[in-house]
Amino acid sequence: MRDKFMLDVFEKYVPNADYLDVGPLYGTVNETLSVAAKYGPKSLTAADIDPLDAPSWAALRSRLAELNISDVKEHSVSIDDPQITEKIGTYDFVYSAGILYHVPSPVFTLQQYRKLTRKYFLLGSMVVPDRVENEQGALDFSGGRLLFVPALGDYERRVMGAHYDAFGMKIHHINTEGWNWVRNGEPSYGPWWWLYSPATLRRMAETAGLKIIAEETTWAGRHHYLFCERID
DSSP output for 19-62: EEEES--STTTT--HHHHGGG--SEEEEEESS-TTSHHHHHHHH
Domain boundaries, the chain: 4-127+196-230, 131-187
Q: How confident is the model at residue 2 (pLDDT cuts 50, 70, 90)?
A: confident
Specify the CATH number of the domain 4-127+196-230: 3.40.50.150
A 10 A CB-CB count for 96 gives 25
pTM of the predicted protein model: 0.97
Q: Each residue of 42-59: pLDDT tens digit?
A: 999 999 999 999 999 999
Q: What is the dihedral of CA 160, 166, 171, 177, to 10 degrees?
A: 90
pLDDT at 56: 96
Rounded to whole angstroms, how far apart are CA atoms 188 and 228?
Answer: 27
Rounded to whole angstroms, how far apart are CA atoms 160 and 139?
Answer: 8
pLDDT at 1: 54
pLDDT at 61: 96
Rounded to whole angstroms, how far apart are CA atoms 96 and 186?
Answer: 22
* Distant-in-sequence, close-in-space partners of 4: CB < 8 Å, separation ≥ 6: none
Rounded to whole angstroms, how far apart are CA atoms 214 and 228?
Answer: 7
